[in-house]
């Protein structure tokens, strides 16, 4: 059994106050949303607590760690060069295994996929993805709408979530991670 208190202590030491509050709020939201959709609440809370373990690492540390641990990452060169922050999902999986001995495949998969999704997404993966984007501390335009559909339809909320992230990148003239485009193309109009 994984010790929640141990994780929370780790988070308090390794995250900024703001990120710490995000993670706690998100984990509780994930639990509620999971129960609402007939998924496992405690497991969702755990995945929530673990999803941003490396979120406050700097880019250099994320890159070095990923190289040293030979982490498997889609479009690794692109991430390293343009969006190293995305590495925090994959580093997070590695830390969850190493520090907290997490072996649950559903939890590890959800952590890996929480930043930009994947072509293979279980309902649990979608739940964590959506809970992160619609967490209580999020205040961007449209978040209320996302929260509302998160309770109605997880598939739809997931697609809205990808749309939000990609359109934000377009708005601020940022490059778009090729894997995120592949994920969008796969899921759009799946209904
Ligand atoms: Fe994250
Ligand atoms: Fe997060």
Number of domains in the chain: 1
CA of 102 to the centre of ligand 1 (A): 18
Instruction: Tell me which residue range forms the domain holding 102.
Output: 4-187
CA of 49 to the centre of ligand 2 (A): 9
CA of 25 to the centre of ligand 2 (A): 10
Which of 152, 178, 148 has its CA nearest to residue 166? 178
Q: Which residues contact 20 (CB under 8 A, 6 or more apart)?
A: 11, 12
68-72 mean pLDDT: 96
Q: What CATH number should be reported for the domain holding residue 159?
A: 1.10.3210.10
Which of 19, 109, 52 has its CA nearest to residue 117? 109
What percentage of the chain reaches a pLDDT higher than 90? 96
Q: How much is the pLDDT for 113?
A: 98
Confidence of residue 1 (pLDDT cuts 50, 70, 90): low
Confidence of residue 172 (pLDDT cuts 50, 70, 90): very high
Confidence of residue 3 (pLDDT cuts 50, 70, 90): confident
Q: Which helix (H) or strand (E) holds 89?
A: helix 87-100
Q: How much is the pLDDT for 191?
A: 60
65: tokens are: 């760690």
30 and 127 Cβ atoms separated by less than 8 Å:
yes
Backbone angles phi, psi at 188, to 5 degrees: -65, 140
Distance CA 119, CA 181 (A): 10
9: left (phi over 0), alpha (psi -120 to 50) or beta: alpha
Query: What pLDDT, in 10s, does the model give residues 79-123?
Result: 999 999 999 999 999 999 999 999 999 999 999 999 999 999 999
């Amino acid at each position: 059994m994984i010790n929640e208190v141990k994780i929370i202590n780790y988070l308090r030491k390794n995250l900024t106050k703001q990120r710490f509050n995000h993670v706690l709020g998100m984990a509780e939201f994930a639990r509620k949303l999971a129960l609402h959709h007939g998924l496992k609440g405690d497991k969702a809370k755990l995945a929530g607590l673990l999803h941003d373990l490396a979120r406050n690492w700097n880019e250099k540390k994320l890159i070095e760690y990923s190289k040293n641990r030979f982490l498997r990452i889609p479009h690794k060169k692109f991430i390293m060069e343009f969006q190293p922050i995305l590495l925090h999902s994959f580093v997070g999986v590695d830390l969850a295994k190493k520090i907290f001995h997490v072996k649950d495949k559903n939890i590890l998969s959800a952590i890996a996929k929480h930043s930009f999704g994947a072509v293979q997404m279980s309902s649990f993966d979608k739940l964590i993805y959506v809970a992160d984007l619609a967490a209580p501390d999020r205040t961007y335009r449209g978040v209320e709408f996302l929260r509302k559909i998160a309770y109605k339809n997880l598939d739809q909320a997931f697609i809205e979530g990808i749309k939000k992230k990609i359109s934000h990148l377009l708005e601020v003239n940022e490059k778009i991670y090729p894997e995120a485009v592949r994920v969008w193309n796969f899921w759009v109009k799946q209904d």
